[in-house]
Structure 1
């Protein structure tokens, strides 16, 4: 039986690929401008090396946010520290600067374009937070997101208020229509009760004592007289005077006719 030839083992992957670098030196790529939706973290590197201001740029190189055509990469190829400001200020083009440091939790990188030793134009910002690398959103995008969120809540509040007002108007309309309906059953009159009340009032009038006569006028006082009073006095003189109870002699009760 012929022996099968042994296949050689596959070659080990490049060092950069082991460290989790998606952008190999053999195939460099330029990252896009909007990469706020992704996050990079290499736990193997974090377990092997400390995260401080001297090694944080080497960790940032492993992320897809790194631009391999920057001036920092040229310094790395010449075995110079990639964040050396004295050498970066003499070059022109894209570069990364470490703007803020709070070891070992926060490191902020600023990507900028250098036109001269004194003139730089900021482009993007990246930050390393507890080992995770993110791209900071641009200010216009932050404002657009905040305004969009505020408009959403305002529109939602107006929709809720409009729905509640429609319910209130529907209830008010029902109440008004119910008020205009004829209330025949509630306003019906019981004539037996009316006669009963008249009988009670008449019995009370008979039980009451007669009203006392008015007090006499003081001496020397002459009441004013007029033609109407004179006529009434003449009529009273012609008619026989009969003592009448002013409370009882009020005639029948004036009630509504139905």
Structure 2
């Protein structure tokens, strides 16, 4: 008959005593151990990593809590993941939730209050023989938001530095443009006098302009502004309506071809 393995701190069926001295149980592992991992290459070379032995491998890691219900089942030579016995107990326990042999095993640490009521606490996974603690969802969100804010802040800093350089160059170009424009708009009076002298000499060399042709017979020039102002006075006589001698000749005076 196989004997039940006894831990070193249990003597004569009294846990917590070693001889006549009281030995305190080891403290439970820390809550946040996401920065470390566990791997025992000697164990992996000796035993296969499957759903039946993965808990024994996990129990060697610092993530394992010796005060859990699974450890009590191991002391009674019962498989530590036997749900028929775990559901009848209360307290902390480990449960194998996901399995992808032989690469990935997910174990969930939870607190059982009744056969139907459990509260998840932490999650661990064994990936290709290495044991890790999965980070909590709030920590994942905090890390992602912090990383996004860092990149956004860096992008704004880079954009601000480039805009400062562009603004400095634009200011220099604008000043240079204003200076060149002011230089172009400066009037050279000597050049103006020289151009006037050339135009006057050319005008003297040209023949005088011929007189304008006379108006047709019966055509009266339109009244000027002075004539209109004079017509507003009561002494002015009404002016006859101007008649175009070419257009207003009537049908009898038009030429026949």
TM-score category (smaller protein): 0.5 to 0.7
State the SS of the aligned residue for 1:69.
Answer: coil
Gaps of 5+ in 2: 1-22, 228-257
After TM superposition, the structure 1 = structure 2 runs for residues 83-162 of structure 1, keeping only pairs within 5 Å, are: 83-162=81-160
Aligned equivalent of 1:61:
59
Note the alpha carbon deviations across 1:54-99, whole angstroms, 9 max, x for none: 1111111111101111111111122211111111111111110011
Query: Among residues 206, 218, 221, which one is paired with 1:220 in the alignment?
Result: 218
Matching residue of 2:20: none
Q: How many residues align?
A: 204
Q: What are the ranges of 5 or more consecutive residues in structure 1 without an aligned counterpart?
A: 1-25, 230-258
User: Residues 166-245 of structure 1: matches in 2 within 5 Å?
Assistant: 166-171=164-169, 190-225=188-223, 228=226
Q: Against the structure 1 CA distance between its residues 61 and 218, is the aligned structure 2 distance closer, same or farther, given a 3 Å change threshold? A: same
Instruction: Report the Cα distance in structure 1 between the residues aligned to 2:155 and 2:225, rounded to whole angstroms.
Output: 80
- Cα deviations by residue, 1:108-160 (Å, 9 ceiling, x for unpaired): 00000000000001000000111110000111111111122222223223333
Query: 2:85 & 2:207 partners in 1: Cα distance?
Result: 126
Rounded Cα–Cα distance in structure 1 between residues aligned with 2:186 and 2:35: 77
**Deviations along 1:198-252, whole A, 9 cap, x unmatched?**
23323433454544433432333222456957xxxxxxxxxxxxxxxxxxxxxxx
Output the aligned Cα RMSD: 3.0
The CA distance in 2 between the partners of 1:154 and 1:45, in whole Å, is 46
Select 2:48's aligned residue among 44, 50, 66: 50
